[in-house]
Amino acid sequence: MAIIIDGRTIAQSLRRRVAEEVAELQARTGVRPGLAAVLVGDDPASHSYVRTKERMAREAGIAGRVVTLPADVAAEELHARVRELAEDPGVHGMLVQLPLPRHLDVESVLAAIPPQKDVDGFHPLNVGRLWSVRDPLAQDVLVPCTPQGCLMLLEEVLGPGGLRGRRALVVGRSNIVGKPMAALLLARDATVTLAHSRTRALAERCREAEVLVAAVGRAEFIRGDWIRPGAVVIDVGINRVEEAGRSRLVGDVAFREAAERAAAITPVPGGVGPMTVACLLANTVKAARIQLGLPPAG
């Protein structure tokens, strides 16, 4: 039976570390890091994510702010609000909660966020630097939160340097999870394959992987017999399923089956999810340090 990787506890200790860094930064410079989220429309999941981000920011001593706009907001109005936050010296980290309503152009909105305040790491400059610098986490690059959290979980299990030379498979190539995950694994010297919906013989590719990251968005899609015995499995998926009139969350991996073969595996919920918010807070402190001309790591 696999080790169950406890994302809640690991995220909690990261949040505690962030709170200490916030206090230390404030004592040294008088600056309290600030995080602002722009929320467009009434999607309940987006509202719930943003509320959690704001609450956890506050708990870590970060000043949290949410700008709420109606679903039919004009692109010019959204850009004007993004510009205001971009120019506000009290806002060190800012994000626009995705997805946006269809009439808005995501790329131009993300490009309007100053790279040094881009705590989601989606600005083209941060994306480019993620792929080109030697160690993006140690350097002044803001790295997307979910893959950053996945990497921390992997290093928790495998130890520093533990990814070196390992065969890693990432299933899913989104800009938010799959691609930045591949970049981080590569930066840690893993041998990386990035799979997607056109990949042939996916089960075979999975069976070769010593490290498997699933970010597909399909409930229990990756079966137990696809897992290489002794693999480390990170399940990013969050899928709501209805069973016997009850709704519950499951990952992209058939957890029970996979846990029979894996050496270690993340549960859903309680694995990657809590790490994402904790990394957002860590990115906010990193952004504040970059803006203050301090080295990225405290």
Binding site for ligand NDP (CB under 6 A): 146, 171-174, 176-178, 195-199, 202, 215-218, 236-239, 272-273, 276
| Nearest residue to 139 via CA among 287, 296, 279 | 296
Alpha-carbon torsion, ordered 215, 221, 224, 226, to 10 deg: -70
Q: What is the DSSP annotation of 42-82?
A: --HHHHHHHHHHHHHHHHTTPEEEEEEE-TT--HHHHHHHH
Strands of the 211-214 sheet, one edge to the other: 3-4, 264-265, 232-235, 211-214, 167-171, 191-195
Clarify whether 120 is annotated catalytic.
yes
Q: In which element (H, E) is residue 187 found?
A: helix 178-187
The token pair at 22 is: 């916030």
**Least spacing, CB of residue 43 vs ligand NDP, in Å:** 13
Tell me which of 116, 117, 118, 120 is the catalytic residue.
Answer: 120
**Least spacing, CB of residue 84 vs ligand NDP, in Å:** 27
In this chain, which residue has its C-beta nearest to ligand NDP? Answer: 174
Of the two residues 61 and 180, which places its CB atom closer to ligand NDP in the complex? 180
Of the two residues 25 and 119, which places its CB atom closer to ligand NDP in the complex? 119
Clarify whether 12 is annotated catalytic.
no
Q: Please give the Cα distance from 176 to 96 (Å, whole number).
A: 13
Q: Please give the Cα distance from 216 to 287 (Å, whole number).
A: 29
Q: Please give the Cα distance from 61 to 34 (Å, whole number).
A: 9
Task: Provide the residue type at 84 as one letter.
Answer: E
**Least spacing, CB of residue 179 vs ligand NDP, in Å:** 9
Taking CA atoms, 226 is separated from 4, 171, 193, 220, 222, in Å, by: 18, 12, 15, 12, 7
Of the two residues 146 and 283, which places its CB atom closer to ligand NDP in the complex? 146
**Least spacing, CB of residue 150 vs ligand NDP, in Å:** 9
Three-state DSSP state, 21: helix
**Least spacing, CB of residue 290 vs ligand NDP, in Å:** 24
Q: List the catalytic residues.
A: 53, 97, 120
